[in-house]
Structure 1
Amino acid sequence: MTDIVTFADDFFGAVANGDIDAVRRYYRDDVKVWHNFDNLEQDKATNVATLASIPDRYDTFEYAEIRHTPIEGGFLRQHVIKASRNGKRAHVPAILRVYVEDGQVYRIEEYFDYGQLKSALGF
């Protein structure tokens, strides 16, 4: 089980550090990333583009209070999104169910209050 925690740390380390090439390698080509706030699934190219655009959309962006919990077929990731934009700050809790098979992510289900993020940062 600790192998999946190491995988989780490494994968989200790549996300947090903006290592988009590494994120691509962690994703299967058919990965789907679903969000509760819009009930839509992103494909690999769309999600990678979203992650790559974080520095353009925020002045600061980080994940805090990180926890990874191994579960059957992957792990749960809990964190708080800490972001700032134009002098405004947001702290938004999130949880993700990450499905992993053969060393690659094939599905993510992400739950957080996007309205809270938008409201706090003035989108």
Structure 2
Amino acid sequence: MTPSTAAQRVLDALAATDTPEPPSDLFAEGAVTWHSFDEVEEPTLVHTLATLRAIRAVIPDFTMADVRTTGDDEQTGLARYVLTGTLPDGSRLHAPAAMVIHLEDGLVTRLEEYVDTAQLAPLFAALG
């Protein structure tokens, strides 16, 4: 799997929160996700997917739009996208973001998401 393909597959898996588990050939056991806004590292399969399900419970049309993926070597992919959705008050969420996808032996071991907290403030407020 190329880094660019891995980046696209990760975003597809994150978008498909209605499925119980992501593809078994995508994430390594113990894969973690780190966010720039809180600098916390969490287990991807437990926390990241649960967080996305919680977001979609409040913002059903939450999505990653304008997706562009690239890969620079055998172990690192990059995804650039815009987080969008309709907030409970009817306003629109619009937050450009980037994710670095780290691979080891063809499996994703680490996700690093970079996004501006000011642009996520309405999302955080909607989540309570």
Q: Which residue of 2 aligns with 1:37?
A: 37
CA contact (8 A) 1:24 1:48 kept: no
What is the CA distance between 1:17 and its match in structure 2? 2.4
CA contact (8 A) 1:14 1:20 kept: no
Q: Which residue of 2 aligns with 1:51?
A: 52
| Partner AA of 1:76 in structure 2 | L
Q: Is 1:119 matched with 2:122? A: yes
Q: Following the alignment from structure 1 to structure 2, what is the Cα–Cα distance between the partners of residues 12 and 64? A: 10
What is the CA distance between 1:112 and its match in structure 2? 0.2
Q: 1:25 to 1:85 in 2, by over 3 A?
A: farther
What is the CA distance between 1:53 and its match in structure 2? 2.3
Number of aligned residue pairs: 122
Give the number of the structure whose residues are more often strand, by fraction: 1
Alignment partner of 1:21: what SS?
A: coil
Alignment partner of 1:13: what SS?
A: helix
Q: Which residue of 1 aligns with 2:99?
A: 96
Unaligned 5+ runs, structure 2 = none
Unaligned 5+ runs, structure 1 = none
| Partner AA of 2:56 in structure 1 | P
- What is the TM-score when the length of structure 1 is the normalising length? 0.83
Q: Which residue of 1 aligns with 2:4?
A: 5
What is the CA distance between 1:24 and its match in structure 2? 6.4
Correspondence 1:15-30 to 2 at 5 A: 15-18=14-17, 19-22=19-22, 26-30=26-30
Give the number of the structure whose residues are more often helix, by fraction: 1
Sequence identity (%): 29
Alignment partner of 1:107: what SS?
A: strand
- What is the TM-score when the length of structure 2 is the normalising length? 0.80
